[in-house]
Structure 1
Amino acid sequence: MSTVYNLKREVEKPVRFTGGHRLCAGCGAGIVVSGVLRALKREERAVVVNATSCLEVSTFMYPYTAYMDSYIHSAFENSAATCSGVEAAYNALKRRGKVDGTVKFITFGGDGGTYDIGLQSLSGAMDRGHDMVYVCYDNEAYMNTGIQRSSSTPHFARTTTTPVGTVGQGKKQNKKDLTEILVAHHIPYAAQTAPLGSFKDLHTKSYKAIYTKGPCFLNVLSPCPRGWDYPTEKLAEIARLAVDTCVWPLYEVEEGMWRLTYIPKKKLPVEDFLRPQGRFRHMFQPGNEWMIEEAQAYVDQKWERLLERTGV
Structure 2
Amino acid sequence: MKRTAPKSYITSGHSACPGCCDIFAAKFTLMGAGPNTIIVNPTGCLEVTTTPYPLTSWQVPWIHSLFENAAAVASGIEAGLKALGKKKDIKVIAIAGDGATMDIGFGAISGAFERGHDFTYICMDNEAYMNTGAQRSSGTPYDASTPTTPAGKASFGNPFPKKNMPAIMAAHGSPYVATTSIGYPRDMMRKVKKATEIVGPTYIHAHAPCTTGWGFDTSKTLEIAKLAVETCLWPLYEMENGEITQVRKIKDPRPVEEYLKTQKRFKHLFVMEGGEEEIRKIQAIADWNIKHFGLQ
State TM-score, norm by structure 1: 0.90
Tell me the equivalent position of 1:53. Answer: 44
> Do structure 1's residue 20 and structure 2's residue 13 form an aligned pair?
yes
Q: Contact 2:182/2:222 (CA < 8 Å) preserved in 1?
A: yes
**Pick from 130, 133, 142: which aligns with 1:143?**
130
**Pick from 60, 79, 85: which aligns with 1:88?**
79
User: Which secondary structure state, in structure 2, belongs to the residue aligned with residue 126 of structure 1?
Assistant: helix
Unpaired runs of 5+ in structure 1?
1-5
CA-to-aligned-CA distance 1:190-214 (integer Å, 9 cap, x gap): 10000125x2211110110111111
Tell me the equivalent position of 1:3. Answer: none
**Pick from 3, 12, 34: which aligns with 1:8?**
3
Q: Percent identity?
A: 42
Specify the code of the residue in structure 2 equivalent to 1:231: D
Specify the code of the residue in structure 2 equivalent to 1:225: T
Tell me the equivalent position of 2:241. Answer: 255
**In structure 1, C-alpha distance between the alignment counterparts of 2:153 and 2:164, rounded to whole Å:** 29
CA-to-aligned-CA distance 1:273-310 (integer Å, 9 cap, x gap): 10110100011115221110111112212331222xx9
**Pick from 25, 34, 54: which aligns with 1:32?**
25
> Do structure 1's residue 168 and structure 2's residue 155 form an aligned pair?
yes
**In structure 2, C-alpha distance between the alignment counterparts of 1:32 and 1:19, rounded to whole Å:** 15
Alpha-carbon offset, residue 101 of structure 1: 6.5
Provide the alpha-carbon RMSD of the alignment: 1.7
User: Which secondary structure state, in structure 2, belongs to the residue aligned with residue 64 of structure 1?
Assistant: coil
CA-to-aligned-CA distance 1:28-86 (integer Å, 9 cap, x gap): 11111101101124xx5211000111111111122221111111000111000001101
**In structure 2, C-alpha distance between the alignment counterparts of 1:184 and 1:270, rounded to whole Å:** 29
Question: Matches of residues 1-312 of structure 1 in structure 2 within 5 Å?
Answer: 8-11=3-6, 13=7, 15-41=8-34, 44-94=35-85, 102-196=89-183, 199-287=185-273, 288-307=275-294
CA-to-aligned-CA distance 1:119-172 (integer Å, 9 cap, x gap): 111111111111101000000000000110001000110111111212222111
**In structure 1, C-alpha distance between the alignment counterparts of 2:268 and 2:88, rounded to whole Å:** 55
Unpaired runs of 5+ in structure 2?
none
Alpha-carbon offset, residue 259 of structure 1: 2.8
The verdict on how the C-alpha distance between 1:136 and 1:194 changes in structure 2, with shifts beyond 3 A counting, is: same
User: Which secondary structure state, in structure 1, belongs to the residue aligned with residue 5 of structure 2?
Assistant: helix
**In structure 2, C-alpha distance between the alignment counterparts of 1:234 and 1:251, rounded to whole Å:** 24
Deviates more, 1:164-173 or 1:51-60: 164-173
The verdict on how the C-alpha distance between 1:250 and 1:109 changes in structure 2, with shifts beyond 3 A counting, is: same
CA-to-aligned-CA distance 1:71-124 (integer Å, 9 cap, x gap): 100011100000110110111122xxxx68611100111000001000111111
Number of matched pairs: 295
State TM-score, norm by structure 2: 0.95
Deviates more, 1:107-116 or 1:247-256: 247-256
**In structure 2, C-alpha distance between the alignment counterparts of 1:7 and 1:111, rounded to whole Å:** 37
**In structure 2, C-alpha distance between the alignment counterparts of 1:7 and 1:202, rounded to whole Å:** 21
CA-to-aligned-CA distance 1:239-292 (integer Å, 9 cap, x gap): 010000010000000233303431112111111110110100011115221110
Q: Contact 2:233/2:285 (CA < 8 Å) preserved in 1?
A: no
**In structure 2, C-alpha distance between the alignment counterparts of 1:162 and 1:100, rounded to whole Å:** 44
